[in-house]
Each structure stands twice: as C-alpha cells, then as structure tokens.
C-alpha cells in the first residue's frame, strides 16, 4: 500500500499518514452503502421508464379491476338506497296500518358489523370497503326479512280477528220486515211488565234463514222455554253471539261456522210473541248493543233500507 504523508506544523516535517483499521472499515462500508443506494435508485428509475411487458399488463389489469370495483360499489349503493325505501315504507305505512310499532334504529342496526372481522382481514381498501358495504346490506336485509315475516303474521292475525268479529246482519234485508231497536229495559205488553232486553228483534217471515254474523264455533245449540231453539256462537277474542226463537237450527255444538253461514231459520219458539229472531252480542261476558256490529258494514242503500225497517221500539217481542 502506498504511504501518504502530511505536513506536521509542530515538527515542521512531512510525516507518514497512518489510517486506523476502524476508520478504514468505516470508509469501506460508506462506499458500499452509497454505491448500493445509487444502484437501487437507478434500477427503480429504469424499471419505471422501461417496464417489462408483464408489468405493463399488470398495470392495465389493475386499472381495469379498480374500475370494476367502482361499478360494484355503485351497484351496492343503489341496492342500499332501494332497501332504505323498503325500510321506510315498512315503518311509515305497513306497520302503521297494522297498528305495529316501527322498528327502532337499534333494531334496524342489529347485526350490522357482524362481518367486520372478515372484511378487516382483507387489506385491499377497495375490496375491504365493498365487503363492509355488502355485509351491512346483508344484515339490514335479514332484519327487513324478519320484519316482513312479522307483518305477514300480523296481517293474517288481523284477518282472522276481522273474520271472527260479528259484522253483518243475521237476517238479510230481503226478508226483514221490522227491526225492533229494543236494547235495554223494555216493556213486554203480553206479560204486562218491563224487563231487561239484551238484544235486537228482527221480524221476518217464518223459515227465513238466520246467518252467523262472524266466524266461530257453535258453543250451544238447544231448545228451551225462554230462548226457544237457540244457537250460541263463540267467535273468540271475547265475542259471543246468540240467535233465539228459531223454528229449527241446523248446526251442532263444536261445529266451525263461517260468517254468512246459515245456522237455522226464523220461528216463534220459547218466550216469544210472533215470528222473529232475537239476536244478542256479548263482549267480555257483557251484553252490548248489536246495532254497533253491523251498521258500519252496510252501504248507503242497505243502510237506508235498514233504517226504513227499524223501529226505535219501547217494547220487545220476547
Ligand atoms: Zn228480543
């Protein structure tokens, strides 16, 4: 190795320059480091400026994939918006009509985020966010599906309840001669005293059909001295109807009957003065005025005809 000299101002002589081993090693490493840095930068610049064919294709593919994911995102957004419309209709219309409470925000969000862990494991932002979006939509759909199922059940229950409720006249207007509006305490001329009259009296020709006023089960069908031939129908939901003084009944205890089904025929049996149907409605074991259970279901013409036959009567026929 060639010696190097330096001028020593203290001794006023040229003296040999001695480099320590550690300084020598440090200089070598510095040289290698700088060379590597320059080499890597040069290689990167070269690759960028002159990419390989595969890399060009990969870049194109990547650009295309990004565009496709944007389309998926856009479609997911549309799905989410449609779902929001259905949720709004559910809460504002369907549930209101069926007297059900709208779902709370916490119920709507139940389960949202259940797939967060799975999507968090995907560290590609576009795919990860699309997965999150899709997971949230799926959770909302599950809640909405459950809600629709509840609506369907409630609708079926309401239908059943409305079918069971006494809601029509037990005697058709075609046969009706007079309707004695005689609910409450009434005078009975034949007996010469007043007593509680718990129903309405429909005067109609002997043998006119008597109809069940709602769906139910025949709970009693028998003959007696007071009601005569009588049928009781249990409608459920605390409703019962009674049809008295029939000439005959054609149903049996335990039989299911539908609204409008013939139970028997008008007669004059039991404690009765003239062919008529004595009709009672009981709700929660109390007698209620039957007029409130068919009047609203008549159209204008039917109602006018009913009124023309109705007599606000101080007396009753039984
Ligand atoms: Zn009566």
In a domain, 318, yes or no: no
What's the CA gap between 237 and 162, in Å, rounded? 10
**pLDDT of amino acid 296:** 65
CA of 300 to the centre of ligand 1 (A): 26
Structural contact between residues 90 and 103, judged by C-beta atoms closer than 8 angstroms: yes
Separation of alpha carbons 51 and 61, rounded Å: 15
In the chain, the number of structural domains is 3
Q: Which CATH number do you get for residue 258?
A: 2.70.70.10
**CA–centroid distance, residue 168 to ligand 1 (Å):** 18
Same domain for 214 and 292? yes
Looking at residue 44, its pLDDT comes to: 85
Tell me, what's the pLDDT at 197? 92
- Shared domain for 196 and 152, answered yes or no, is no
Say if residue 201 is in the same domain as residue 237: yes
Q: What confidence score (pLDDT) does residue 124 get?
A: 66
Is residue 170 in some structural domain? no
Ligand 1 centroid–CA 245 distance in Å is 9
Q: Tell me what pLDDT residue 112 has.
A: 64
179 CA from centroid of ligand 1 (Å):
10
Q: Are residues 160 and 189 in the same domain?
A: no
Strand-pair category, 310-311 with 178-180: parallel
Nearest Cα residue to 281 out of 194, 183, 136, 210: 183
**Cα–Cα distance for residue pair 301/187, rounded to 1 Å:** 32
What pLDDT is stored for residue 265 in this prediction?
98
Ligand 1 midpoint to CA 27 (Å): 123
307 shares a domain with 182: yes
Cα 178 to ligand 1 centroid, rounded to whole Å? 12
Structural domain includes residue 151: yes
pLDDT tens track, the chain, 318 positions: 566 778 888 888 888 777 777 887 888 888 888 989 998 888 888 878 777 778 888 888 888 988 888 888 888 888 888 888 898 889 888 898 888 888 888 888 775 654 544 455 555 677 777 788 888 888 888 888 999 999 999 999 999 999 999 999 999 989 999 999 889 888 887 778 888 999 999 999 999 999 999 999 999 999 999 999 999 999 999 999 999 999 999 999 999 999 999 999 999 999 998 999 999 999 999 999 999 898 666 778 778 878 777 877 787 888
Q: How far is the CA of 307 from the centre of ligand 1 (A)?
A: 18
Residues spanned by the domain of 36 = 4-49
Strands (E), the chain: 4-8, 13-17, 178-180, 184-188, 193-197, 200-203, 209-211, 216-222, 229-236, 239-249, 256-257, 262-266, 276-283, 286-288, 310-311
d(C-alpha 69, C-alpha 187), whole Å: 85
| Domain-ending residue, one of 100, 129, 164 | 164
Question: What pLDDT shows up at residue 16?
Answer: 79
Q: Please work out, in degrees rounded to the nearest 5, the angle formed at the alpha carbon of residue 207 by the alpha carbons of 248 and 186.
A: 80
């Amino acid at each position: 190795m060639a010696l190097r000299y330096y001028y020593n101002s203290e001794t006023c002589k040229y003296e040999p320059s001695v480099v320590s081993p550690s300084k020598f090693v440090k200089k070598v490493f510095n040289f290698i480091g700088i060379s590597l840095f320059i080499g890597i930068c040069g290689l990167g610049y070269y690759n960028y400026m002159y990419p390989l064919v595969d890399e060009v294709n990969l870049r194109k593919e990547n650009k295309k994939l990004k565009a496709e994911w944007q389309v998926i995102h856009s479609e997911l957004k549309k799905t989410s918006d449609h779902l929001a419309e259905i949720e709004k209709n559910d809460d504002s219309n369907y549930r209101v009509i069926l007297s059900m409470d709208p779902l709370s925000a916490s119920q709507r969000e139940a389960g949202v985020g259940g797939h967060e862990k799975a999507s968090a494991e995907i560290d590609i932002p576009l795919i990860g966010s699309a997965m999150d979006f899709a997971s949230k939509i799926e959770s909302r759909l599950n809640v909405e599906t459950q809600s629709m199922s509840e609506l369907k059940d409630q609708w079926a229950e309401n239908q059943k309840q409305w079918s069971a409720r006494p809601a029509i006249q037990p005697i058709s207007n075609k046969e009706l001669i007079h309707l004695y509006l005689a609910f409450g305490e009434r005078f009975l001329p034949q007996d010469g005293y007043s007593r509680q009259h718990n129903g309405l009296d429909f005067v109609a020709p002997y043998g006119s059909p008597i109809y069940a006023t709602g769906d139910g089960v025949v709970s009693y069908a028998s003959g007696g001295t007071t009601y005569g031939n009588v049928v009781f129908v249990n409608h459920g939901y605390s409703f019962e109807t009674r049809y008295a003084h029939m000439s005959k009944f054609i149903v049996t205890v335990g039989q299911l009957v539908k609204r409008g089904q013939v139970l028997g025929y008008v007669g004059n049996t039991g404690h009765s003065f003239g062919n008529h149907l004595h009709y009672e409605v009981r709700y929660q074991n109390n007698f209620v005025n039957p007029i409130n259970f068919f009047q609203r279901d008549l159209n204008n013409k039917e109602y006018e005809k009913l009124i023309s036959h109705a007599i606000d009567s101080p007396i009753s026929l039984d």
